[in-house]
Amino acid sequence: MSRELIIEEMKERVFQANLELPRLGLVKLTWGNVSEINRELGVIVIKPSGVSYDAMKVSQMVVTDLEGNLLEKKSLKPSSDLATHVVLYREFTDVQAVVHTHSTNAVMWAQAGYDLKAYGTTHADTFYGSVPCTRTLTKEEVLDNYEENTGKVIVETFNERNIKPLEIPGVLVSGHGPFTWGNTPSKAVENSLILDEVCLMAKETEKINQRVVDIPKFLLDKHYLRKHGKSAYYGQ
């Protein structure tokens, strides 16, 4: 398959995944973006900045190199979060697609500044333990290369806590919101939806029982590993 055709197929996948965000209730206005990487070709495809989902076209998806430099003439500006995606792709080398939203429940949790604990099996089916909340960025980090530093604080959080990105395919950026990832744009969007739902479930669970504790490790293992890894048996 030619380079041009591969990039066109990437644009289509990224376009369709971006359209899923408002359809699933994960974004309002233009508050979200999806990207995909092809490391062999050295390209990233991402949503254009500030373009309405109703008006957006496949041809408007923005193509950059792995440093975020534009590769197509007459291209629209890429999402303002591109630099965050670039850092995540550089450091999380098994990740193929990244999603950022301001979905209501995940943003609530990020604004509260707490990790999202694994309270039940719905969480455990996708996230192999707590979804971390990063530290708050410093003033200097916000004023200088903010989006890049957002990516760096995500990576810092995973490295310091020895978390594997494919086992916990999402994060809450303190005071900001969620990022999720996956092996395809559609899977990364699915993880964004699941993260928002389990944020809501956890919030309401804590209202019912303020002393709720994490799911037992044996049950966490059972639900995560039956869907992931070499011994998985869930699905067809």
d(CA 158, CA 163): 5
- Answer for the pair 103, 40: CB distance below 8 angstroms, yes or no: no
Beta bridge partners of 179: 100, 171
Residue 119 sits at φ, ψ, to 5 deg, of -90, -20
Catalytic residue status for 234: yes
Catalytic residue status for 53: no
Q: Comparing C-alpha atoms, which of 132, 113, 135 is closest to residue 170?
A: 132
Interhelix angle 3-23/185-208, nearest 10 degrees = 20
Q: Exposure string (b/e) for 96-133, b if CB count within 10 Å is 16 or more?
A: bbbbbbbbebbbbbbeeebbbbbbbebbbbbbbbbbbb
- What 3-state class would DSSP assign to 171? strand
In sequence order, which residues have a C-beta less than 8 Å from that of residue 192 and are 6 or more positions away?
A: 21, 26, 99, 101, 103, 106, 170, 178, 180
Q: Which residue has the tokens 């591969």?
A: 6
Q: Of 53, 114, 115, 125, which residue is the catalytic one?
A: 125
Extract the tokens encoding 201.
Answer: 């479930």
Which residues are identified as catalytic? 125, 234
